Amino acid sequence: MPVVETHELRRVYKSTTGFVRRRVKATEAVKGVSLQIEEGELFGLLGPNGAGKTTTIKILTTLLLPTSGSATVLGFDVAKQAKEVRRQIGYVFGGERGLYDRLSALDNLRYFADIYRVPPRAQRSRIDELLELVGLKGRERERVETYSRGMKQRLHIARGLVHDPPVLFLDEPTIGLDPVGARELRGTIAGLKDAGKTILLTTHYMFEADDLCDRIAVIASGEIVAEGTPATLKSRVAERHVIEIEVFGAEAAAIDRVRALEGVSSVAVEDHDQAQLLVVQSARGAALVDSLLRELDGTRIGRVVSREPTLEDAYVDLVGAT
Amino acid sequence: MIRLAARGVLLQFKILSQSAFDMLNAAFWPLVFATIAYYLFRSGSHARSLFDASLGATVMTMWATCGIGAAFAVQWQRRLGTLELLVASPTPFIALLAPITIAYAALGIYSLASTLLWGRVLFGIPVDPVHPFLFVVSLPAAILAIGMLGLLVSSTLILYRAAGALGNSLEYPIWLATGLLVPLSLLPGWVRPISWLLAPTWGMRALRESALGGSPLPAIGWCLVTSAAYAALAAVFLGHFERLAREKASFALT
């Protein structure tokens, strides 16, 4: 039996505008998401901002009710058996909030241990274990407001694990961390998977999903557009080739001309300060560099790199198609 | 559950004590109210004793710190980003919110002590309750009732991001409607039934009658009855509003 299962999950947000003439606006954030996560699996939900990742995770953690469809965690219905679900899960989100920053890490962990009814005798050893796990041993009596962002995030993980839940929901846990802090945290997450936890991780960092996840679902505009192992998703673009062109002040018309070129599968534009990076995907073997540069005639060109596709290219291809 | 409540109260005190501003605020306001009460009633024509005035100032301070503080509790948790985490825990939310309220309410003991001491030292107001034992009993009853009113207010504000401002706006109406600021006899007749439903009315009456003479036991009893009613209503509201919040997605972190 899957540990986490959703079936045709939908969530509509309603907002009202206007004072005299009130208008109700409905936004469908999740449109029929179905997924299954097996025991001990680290499952990645990958998608851009506003794709529906956090809404899905909030439904699974019982903070939101689905508009329709169903979801279960360890067989418990998240809408009707919220209390049972809450006992079995740990929920960790990214960012600096979600902690009592005027208190020490120890006080934060003790409080949440009481909230989750961890027996008093087991609390000390459990908290010690967690402080070791997240590398905060020796700093536990310092006030959280004096911690770095990375330390706070690791404390978040410890808080989410204080009652030793079998299922863990991690909502963009590495967001805003410096590269070293993010790498340390990824190491901690990998350790949790090794310890047998079932984990649902949302992220928009491709390398993170590639590095950590057993399986990935790509979500865009509220729908799952692809699902599989990182290798399977990469294979979607295996027959392609990628050309990166650094341009300065390229006009929209020039980019549209590039898109329209025969043999071009997709074009993604990344803004980098004064420059833009055009990531052009094409069929393998297509000799396109000259044609591309011709279409960009009149635009200042920087470096041009030809490379093999990555998971990120697969992701851009999938998300761009929606 | 008792351990959780004790931990909640303790941590709330720790949090409050970490802020010099909060500490100064808590220390300062009782003195301001006591001073205002003294000068107001010294020059006024009403025959209320200065001790009575100090008690009124005490209950005003209690509501200002306990009731309003409790009302801000939900907003404060939302600002910290812990509201979602508390709601996502298996413990009923009322069991997490009540200790915060009780911590604020316990500040009422300081309010009473500092107000009476300030009045005694600076203005020579005598502190000689007629029923000392019942006066000691009246105090926790009044604190409990006021704290539970704060919990009730807090429970109704879970759906709204502007909860703090709404809670703040209740400060003066409660002072007025419970006869703390001016005697109820000066207010229109329709205010009286409202005042009977408000715990500070009975808290004030219990303290006044034990201090100045009378029978405080009925008022103490009403403090307990209103407290129980407020706690029960808060539990119902929290359950209902939590479900509504899950439907309306108002457990936002921002």
Torsion of CA A169, A170, A171, A177, to 10 degrees: 170
Q: Do A100 and B11 touch (CB under 8 A)?
A: yes
Distance CA A158, CA A130 (A): 6
Q: What is the mean pLDDT of the segment spanning B16-43? A: 74
**Which CATH number does the domain housing residue A252 bear?**
3.30.70.260
pLDDT above 70 coverage of chain B, percent: 88
- Tally the domains of chain A: 2
The torsion of the CA quartet A70, A74, A76, A79, rounded to 10 degrees, works out to: -50
Domain assignment of residue B22, given as a range: 2-248
Give yes or no for a contact between A209 and A319, defined as CB atoms under 8 angstroms apart: no
Instruction: Yes or no: say if A310 and A265 are a contact pair by the CB < 8 Å rule.
Output: no
How far does A61 lie from chain B, in Å, by closest CA?
A: 7
Give yes or no: residues A145 and A117 share one domain. Answer: yes
Domain boundary (A177, A207, A234) is at A234
* Chain A, window 37-96: residues with a beta carbon less than 8 angstroms from a chain B beta carbon: 58, 61-65, 83, 86-87, 89, 91, 93, 95
Mean pLDDT confidence for B24-45: 72
Q: Do B7 and A91 make contact, defined as CB atoms within 8 angstroms?
A: no
Give me the residue label for tokens 């010099």: B20
Q: What are phi and psi of A246, to 5 degrees?
A: -85, 125
pLDDT at residue B161, as a whole number: 65
Determine whether the interchain pair B80/A65 forms a contact, defined as Cβ–Cβ distance below 8 Å: no
CB distance from B91 to chain A under 8 Å? yes
**pLDDT score of B44 more than 60:** no
Mean pLDDT of chain B: 79
* B241 vs A202, residue with greater confidence: A202
Identify the pLDDT of residue A7. 94
- Nearest-neighbour CA in chain B from A210: distance (Å): 29
| Domain span including residue A205 | 4-234
Q: Kindly list the residues from chain B whose CB atom is less than 8 angstroms away from the CB atom of residue A123.
A: none
- Which helix (H) or strand (E) segment is B40 a member of? helix B20-43
| From B4, B8, B88, residue closest to A62, measured CB to CB | B88
Residue that is last in its domain, among A215, A234, A253: A234
Which residues does chain A have with pLDDT short of 70? 238, 285-286, 320-322
Contact yes or no for B204/B231 (Cβ under 8 A)? no
What was the pLDDT predicted at B254?
Answer: 42
Cα separation, B140 vs B127, in Å, equals 18
Which residues have CB under 8 Å from B179's CB, separation 6+? Answer: B187, B195, B201, B204
Q: At which residue do the structure tokens 């679902």 appear?
A: A217
Q: pLDDT digits over B183-232, tens only? A: 777 888 888 888 888 888 888 889 888 988 888 899 999 999 999 999 89
Beta-bridged to residue A241, according to DSSP, are: A282
A vs B, Cβ pairs < 8 A, gives 79
Q: What angle do CA B93, B94, B95 make, to 5 degrees?
A: 90
> Per the domain annotation, does B254 fall within a domain?
no
Residue ending a domain, choose from A186, A211, A234: A234
Residue (of A220, A225, A319) closest to A268 by Cα position: A319
Same structural domain for residues A59 and A127? yes
- Residue B43 is predicted with a pLDDT of 63
pLDDT of residue B99: 81
